């Protein structure tokens, strides 16, 4: 998307200002450390470009992932056999290993962009696509994205000795925002079972409901009845968002609460089983607990309450 120049091999935080016949831009070109390349999301370059007149920029087989926001103006992107019309507020996120071409229209555009990569980026990209992520989309509000791009630019131009880690944090936040746009496949929009209307569920509400109702006999069917969406949709979107099934999350919450009670109360195991949603089946609770923690509830309590900690409620 940017014009090529002869300054591609600059020190870590080279800040370049370019003005040519078709565009002007400011950018930071970075050279990540070996640690960043092996362990973190790392920035390659970021900046802002304003087209002076219509022009086309093409790349192919670039070891990078490109994210940009159209701040104003219009143009188009050709990527993976598709042509996308772009306008103000549109977001682009693509794998640059595939060839792409982008062009500004007569309504010359201004773009904010970032090229980045990581040793795990291929897997992240594949998961983004599996979840229905699109190379081009239009969020309700693009300000969060532009704010992160501004933070990337500011951080990359700083002299902070933990810059690699700070850039990783910002890029991770960007990835999180991008994944939040993949709530459902375009042709699989959820339908409320109570109203019949098409609407997206707030999956965070499901998680919060589990956090506060773990003592109850929670099931996927019960959650579907409470939130008025199909159990299949809830199961899919919960796992896609949090990386584990509804049942697995319920189990983790219950085991977490049982560990608190084992450490900081003298409740018998039977009562803890009841308090944490396992009813009166303390044998089942003990089997689940041992499978997760590797020890029985009684041994867990004994290990944590030995010595000076016994019968106390502080570490």
Is the sign of the CA dihedral 227, 233, 238, 244 positive or negative?
Answer: positive
Residue 302, pLDDT above cutoff 60: yes
Mapping DSSP to helix (H, G, I), strand (E, B) and coil, where does residue 169 land?
A: helix
Q: Which of 129-133, 139-143, 170-174 has the highest mean pLDDT?
A: 170-174
Q: Is it the case that residue 180 has pLDDT exceeding 60?
A: yes
pLDDT of residue 114: 97
Spatial separation of the C-alpha atoms in residues 51 and 6, rounded to whole Å: 20
End-to-end CA distance of the chain: 55
Q: Which residue has the higher pLDDT, 163 or 9?
A: 163
Q: What is the pTM of this model?
A: 0.60
249 has pLDDT over 60: yes
Higher-pLDDT residue of 11, 252: 252
**Does residue 12 register a pLDDT over 80?**
no
Give the DSSP H or E segment for 239.
Answer: helix 231-242
Task: For 209-228, write each residue's pLDDT tens digit.
Answer: 999 999 999 999 999 999 98
Q: How confident is residue 1, by pLDDT bands cut at 50, 70 and 90?
A: very low
Higher pLDDT, 230 or 20: 230
Give the residue among 31, 39, 54 at the shortest CA–CA distance from 115: 31
Residues, the chain: 315
> What pLDDT is stored for residue 195 in this prediction?
52
Q: What is the mean pLDDT of residues 253-262?
A: 96
Residue 12: φ, ψ to 5°: -45, -50
Task: Give me the percent of the chain exceeding a pLDDT of 90.
Answer: 63
Q: Is the per-residue pLDDT at 183 higher than 50?
A: yes
How far, CA to CA in Å, does 178 sit from each of 20, 40, 181?
Answer: 32, 18, 5
Count of Cβ atoms closer than 10 Å to residue 9 Cβ: 8
Strands laid side by side in the 56-59 sheet: 56-59, 100-104, 74-79, 82-87
Give the strands of the sheet with 91-95, arranged side by side: 14-19, 23-29, 42-51, 110-117, 65-72, 91-95, 136-137
Q: Helix %, strand %, coil % for the chain, to 5?
A: 40, 20, 35
How distant, in Å, are the alpha carbons of 39, 109, 247, 268 from that of 250?
31, 48, 5, 22
Higher pLDDT, 231 or 192: 231
Whether residue 311 is predicted with pLDDT greater than 50 in this model: the reply is no
- Residues with Cβ < 8 Å from 138, sequence gap 6 or more? 89, 90, 91
The pair of three-digit structure tokens given for residue 281, joined into one six-digit string: 């089946």
Largest CA distance in the chain: 78
- Measured distance CA(258)–CA(253) in Å, rounded: 9
**Distance (Å, whole) CA 26 – CA 255:** 52
Instruction: List the structure tokens of 63.
Output: 């070891």
Region 105-129: mean pLDDT is 94
In this structure, of 169-173, 185-189, 263-267, the range with the lowest mean pLDDT score is: 185-189
Q: What is the mean pLDDT of the chain?
A: 85
Residue 202 has pLDDT above 90, yes or no: no
Residue 54 pLDDT:
85
Q: What is the mean pLDDT of residues 273-289?
A: 94
């Amino acid at each position: 998307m940017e014009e090529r120049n002869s300054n591609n091999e600059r020190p870590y935080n080279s800040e370049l200002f370019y003005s040519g016949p078709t565009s002007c831009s400011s950018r930071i070109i970075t050279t990540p450390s070996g640690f960043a390349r092996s362990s973190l999301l790392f920035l390659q370059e970021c900046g802002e470009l304003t087209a002076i007149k219509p022009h086309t920029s093409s790349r192919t087989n670039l070891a990078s992932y490109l994210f940009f926001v159209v701040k104003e103006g219009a143009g188009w992107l050709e990527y993976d056999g598709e042509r996308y019309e772009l306008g103000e507020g549109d977001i682009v996120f693509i794998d640059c290993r595939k060839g792409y071409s982008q062009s500004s229209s007569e309504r010359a555009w201004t773009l904010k962009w970032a090229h980045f990569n990581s040793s795990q980026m291929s897997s992240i990209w594949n998961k983004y696509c599996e979840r229905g992520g699109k190379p081009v989309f239009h969020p309700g509000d693009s300000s969060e994205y532009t704010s992160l791009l501004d933070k990337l630019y500011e951080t990359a131009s700083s002299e902070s000795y933990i810059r690699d880690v700070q850039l990783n944090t910002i890029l991770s936040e960007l990835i999180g925002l991008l994944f939040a746009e993949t709530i459902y496949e375009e042709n699989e929009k959820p339908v409320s079972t109570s109203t019949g209307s098409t609407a997206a569920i707030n999956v965070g509400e499901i998680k919060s409901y589990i956090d506060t109702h773990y003592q109850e006999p929670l099931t996927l069917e019960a959650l579907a009845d409470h939130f008025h969406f199909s159990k299949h949709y809830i199961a899919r979107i919960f796992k896609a968002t949090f990386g584990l099934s509804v049942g697995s999350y319920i189990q983790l919450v219950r085991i977490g609460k049982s560990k608190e009670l084992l450490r900081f109360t003298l409740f018998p195991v039977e009562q803890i089983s009841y308090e944490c949603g396992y009813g009166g089946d303390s044998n089942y609770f003990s089997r689940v607990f041992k499978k997760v923690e590797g020890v029985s509830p009684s041994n867990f309590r004994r290990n944590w309450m030995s010595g000076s900690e016994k019968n106390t409620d502080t570490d």
